[in-house]
Amino acid sequence: MRTLIGHNGAESSSGCDGSDGAIDELATMSAEQRIAKLRAMADRVFNAAAIGSFLIARDTTAVVNLLLENPDRFGEARLELARAVEEAQCFLTVIDLAERRLAGGLAEIASRSAAARNRR
């Protein structure tokens, strides 16, 4: 996991390890590109959640039996799940950084308003 420095200088831990999920990469994209990339990531996260919901509804024995019956069907599923975990963590990082920047901006506006009132 890499550490990112946000706009306000605060460090943030990111699940965006690869070039596919790097916050820095997202920040340099146009809005259209960024939204398209996030949509593709969201689709992969949703698919992983669907796979996960299927698997969590079964006990270990049932999962083992399913894998033994269909070894080719789930071969890539573990890799897809691992990638989805990273992408979900990336979403959390994006949302967290946005919340922090919004909070910082709102605090700055409040500070300016208070300073203006005090000058009167």
Residue 108: in which H helix or E strand, if any? helix 77-119
Determine which of 11-25, 29-43, 81-95 has the lowest per-residue pLDDT on average. 11-25
Say how far apart CA 106 and CA 104 lie, in whole Å: 5
pLDDT confidence tier of residue 75, bands split at 50, 70 and 90? confident
C-alpha neighbours within 13 Å on the C-beta side of residue 62: 6
Where b means 16+ CB within 10 Å and e means fewer, 86-120 reads bbbbbbebbeebeeeeeeeeeeeeeeeeeeeeeee
* Burial class of residue 39 in the structure, from the number of CB atoms within 10 Å of its CB (0-12 exposed, 13-18 middle, 19+ buried): exposed
- State residue 120's pLDDT score: 76
| Per-residue pLDDT at 20 exceeds 70 | no
pTM of the complete model beyond 0.75: no
What residues make up the domain containing 90? 2-119
Number of structural domains in the chain: 1
pLDDT confidence tier of residue 16, bands split at 50, 70 and 90? low
Express as a percent the part of the chain with pLDDT over 90: 64
